[in-house]
Amino acid sequence: MKRREEIALKALISCRTVREASKISGLSERSIYNYLSNPIFKAAYEAAKTDIIRGVAANLRERMSEAADVVGAVMSRENRPRDRLAAAKIALTFSIRLDESLDFSERLAELEKKLNGEKN
C-alpha cells in the first residue's frame, strides 16, 4: 500500500465521514473516494474496521459481568423506584436480545453444518 493510501486509511478509520477524513489527512475527497473504489484498499479498510469492532467487542465482553452487577445493584435500591425500573428494563431488554442472538447463532451453525454436509 502506498504512503498516501495508508494516510487515507488511518484517516477513514478515525473519522465518521470522507469529508472529515479528507480534512485531517490533507487528501482530497476525490482521492479518498478513488482509493475506496480500489478493491484491495477497500478490503484493507473493511479489515481494519472489523479489527476495531472486534477489539471493542472483546473489551465489552470482559466488562459484562461488572455491568450486570451495577444493574443488579441499582435494581436493589429500595428508595429509588425510577432507577430500579430503568435498571429492570435494561436487564430485560438485553437478556431478550442475548437470547435471540444465541438462538440465531445456534440456528446459523446448524444451517452451516447442513450446507457443509451437502457439499461433502
Q: Are both 1 and 53 inside the same structural domain?
A: yes
Q: Note the pLDDT of residue 94.
A: 86
Identify whether 4 is part of a domain.
yes
Q: Quick one: pLDDT band at residue 79, thresholds 50, 70, 90?
A: confident
Q: Note the pLDDT of residue 16.
A: 94
Q: Are both 81 and 51 inside the same structural domain?
A: no
Mean local confidence (pLDDT), 38-42: 96
Q: Quick one: pLDDT band at residue 11, thresholds 50, 70, 90?
A: very high
Site of grid cell 440456528: 107
The number of distinct structural domains making up the chain is: 2
Cα distance from N-terminal residue to C-terminal residue, the chain: 38
Nearest to 42 by CA among 101, 96, 1, 93: 1
Identify whether 72 is part of a domain.
no
Identify whether 57 is part of a domain.
yes
Q: Are both 32 and 57 inside the same structural domain?
A: yes
Mean local confidence (pLDDT), 14-36: 97
